[in-house]
């Protein structure tokens, strides 16, 4: 479920839970922040409260539950894509994405869960969290009969100026500082590292704007000079909110993010609001209702049959646009899976084919050959990979291995730097890009 849908849903009760950074150490005794927003109520008018999970109010089955987790638990980033992707190519993007973000992670990509949002041509917003950590958290919530509809990094609830791409928001709490720089980009750190956090932010233009919020007026005052000095040095327009009563729920309808970690295998089950049947309706009204219902079922059956046929024809058209070489189409799903897995590589997508063959040769020596960048030129059907190596011999060996797999492999450049060799390898297929 989209976060925008949850935040603006006034027909159901809404429970908003905020977990502390040390929650995992002792979930049963941790003090959490929460607010219960009854159906039709204004979020800003509902009191923010604190208790343990066991002391939360009892909810109806249709209540919506949003859980805010510490941003320190995950990585939020933007990823540049080697070719344009649309929302209709979500599955293809999810297959390629692990290879594109693996170099940013210190852990095994197979042990991470990736959530995406805001696919825009050749860029996508991502969140990366340890899979086991997410599984443990959801199991813990389930122990308390809490089925979350959305899981959101808490720093993404800070207000931002949507009209100024160079704006950011900084929240000062007793022990941590959080900086949000775009709809789906934020970071939270220990407050002792505030200076480094401010230095790391580079506005996307000359009109930088920083809004500072705080839950502690005294702490805000203690950092005022530091904030003003940093803003002045960077030419940033500084706005300090002189209040200590900031709460997340006060801005719930304007969070400006749809990055929900509950995607894929962790997607939440959609909840239906409860309806109440009036048992005192006259018998004639009940009879009419039954007739209308039967008619509705018949009409629905015909409509969905038509929709299924139309969707199948649309699927065929989309399949032919991606794989025009296929003349005989028996099972769209199976044939598509075969293309993506590489079993029909000579008819499939050039990027996935070349990337897959490169990964197969590069992975055994990944510790010595560090991938820095991948670029794909669809018009020329060529993949260019930039790597760091200890020697030019390693680059040449990789090039020879790729050539032995039936690829045209060319070492475009090899530049000696302080910590080794930075090289670029170009890959194309030997038959002119017709894979």
What lies within 8 Å, CB to CB, of 425 at 6+ separation is: 384, 385, 387, 395, 398, 399, 402, 409, 410, 411, 412
Q: Are 402 and 425 in contact (CB under 8 A)?
A: yes
CA within 13 Å, CB half, 224: 11
Q: What is the pLDDT of residues 260-272, one digit of tens each?
A: 999 989 998 766 5
CA distances, 366 to each of 276, 398, 415, 423 (Å)? 61, 11, 19, 14
Structure tokens at 350: 């050039």
Q: What is the pLDDT of residues 401-410, one digit of tens each?
A: 999 988 999 9
Strand ranges inside 173-301, DSSP E = 176-182, 185-190, 209-214, 237-240
Q: In a 10 Å sphere around its CB, with 0-12 CB exposed, 13-18 middle and 19+ buried, how is residue 371 labelled?
A: middle
Looking at residues 425-432, what average pLDDT do you find?
A: 82
Q: What is the pLDDT of residue 29?
A: 95
What lies within 8 Å, CB to CB, of 128 at 6+ separation is: 74, 75, 77, 101, 105, 112, 113, 114
Looking at residues 148-170, what average pLDDT do you find?
A: 89
Nearest Cα to Cα of residue 67 among 108, 104, 14: 14
Which position has the higher pLDDT, 292 or 7? 292
Q: What is the pLDDT of residue 394?
A: 92
Q: In what order do the strands lie in the sheet with 112-120?
A: 74-80, 123-130, 112-120
| Strand, coil or helix: 180 | strand
Structure confidence at residue 339 as a pLDDT band (50, 70, 90): low
Element (H, E) at 290: helix 283-322
Distance CA 400, CA 365 (A): 14
> Is residue 23 over pLDDT 60?
yes
Looking at residues 48-74, what average pLDDT do you find?
A: 92
Which position has the higher pLDDT, 372 or 67? 67
DSSP state, residue 419: T
Looking at residues 61-84, what average pLDDT do you find?
A: 90
Nearest Cα to Cα of residue 16 among 253, 261, 252: 252
Q: What is the pLDDT of residue 244?
A: 57
Q: What is the pLDDT of residue 278?
A: 39
């Amino acid at each position: 479920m989209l976060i925008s849908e949850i935040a603006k849903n006034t027909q159901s009760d809404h429970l908003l839970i905020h977990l502390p950074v040390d929650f995992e150490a002792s979930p049963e005794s941790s003090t959490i922040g929460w607010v219960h927003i009854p159906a039709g109520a204004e979020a800003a008018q509902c009191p923010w409260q604190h208790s343990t999970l066991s002391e939360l109010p009892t909810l109806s089955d249709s209540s919506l539950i949003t859980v805010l987790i510490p941003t320190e638990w995950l990585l939020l980033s933007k990823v540049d894509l080697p070719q344009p992707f649309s929302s209709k190519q979500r599955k293809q993007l999810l297959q390629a994405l692990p290879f594109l973000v693996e170099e940013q992670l210190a852990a095994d990509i197979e042990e991470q869960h990736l959530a995406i949002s805001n696919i825009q041509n050749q860029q996508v917003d991502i969140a990366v969290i340890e899979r086991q950590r997410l599984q443990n958290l959801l199991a813990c919530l389930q122990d308390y009969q809490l089925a979350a509809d959305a899981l959101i990094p808490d720093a993404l609830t800070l207000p931002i100026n949507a009209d100024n791409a160079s704006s950011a928001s900084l929240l000062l709490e007793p022990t941590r500082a959080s900086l949000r720089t775009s709809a789906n980009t934020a970071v939270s750190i220990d407050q002792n590292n505030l200076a480094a956090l401010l230095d790391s932010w580079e506005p996307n233009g000359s009109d930088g704007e920083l809004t500072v919020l705080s839950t502690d007026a005294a702490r805000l005052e203690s950092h005022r000079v530091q904030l003003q000095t940093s803003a002045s040095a960077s030419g940033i327009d500084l706005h300090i909110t002189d209040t200590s009563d900031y709460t997340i729920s006060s801005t719930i309808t304007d969070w400006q993010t749809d990055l929900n970690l509950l995607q894929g295998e962790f997607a939440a089950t959609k909840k239906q609001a409860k309806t109440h049947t009036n048992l005192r309706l006259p018998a004639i009204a009940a009879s009419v209702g039954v007739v209308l219902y039967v008619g509705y079922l018949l009409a629905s059956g015909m409509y969905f049959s038509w929709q299924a046929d139309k969707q199948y024809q649309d699927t065929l058209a989309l399949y032919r646009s991606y794989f025009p070489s296929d003349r005989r189409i028996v099972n769209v799903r199976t044939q598509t899976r075969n293309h993506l897995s590489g079993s029909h590589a000579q008819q499939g997508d050039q990027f996935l084919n070349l990337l897959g063959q490169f990964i197969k040769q590069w992975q055994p020596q990944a510790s010595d050959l560090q991938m820095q960048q991948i670029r794909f030129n669809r018009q020329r059907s060529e993949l260019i990979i930039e790597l760091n190596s200890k020697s030019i011999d390693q680059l040449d060996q990789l090039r020879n291995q790729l050539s032995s797999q039936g690829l045209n492999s060319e070492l475009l450049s090899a530049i000696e730097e302080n910590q080794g060799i930075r090289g670029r390898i170009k890959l194309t297929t030997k038959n002119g890009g017709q894979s």
